Amino acid sequence: MVLRVAAVMALLYVVLVGGLAWAMRQPPSVFGAIMAKMPPLAFMILPFESLWRSARAGSLHTGELAPDFALNPAEGGSPVRLSSLRGKEPVVLIFGSYT
């Protein structure tokens, strides 16, 4: 009986870790909706940090050029392409709130 309970618990853990790994690879809106329903106990049991590093690692390595993209400046104006700044000046991207 104890072995059966342990097997079910191990299977449940594997399913939960797999589901969390899948959720972390979804767009932010989907991931946020899933995380909003996550019970607090799950944060203590599941390996969030290692899964997050794996899910969001990306494929760039030190020294490689960043992929080109365009962003609208916070103060308004026309979009700025990263490639238009390459070799001219340092670029710093800030995501999130700094207020």
Residue in the structure block whose two tokens are 């104006």? 77
Largest CA distance in the chain: 69
Mean pLDDT value of segment 64-85: 87
User: For 6-55, how does the pLDDT look when each residue is reduced to its tens digit (9 = 90+)?
Assistant: 999 999 999 999 999 999 988 888 988 998 999 988 888 999 888 888 88
pLDDT band at 73 (very low <50, low <70, confident <90, very high): confident
pLDDT for residue 63 is more than 90: no
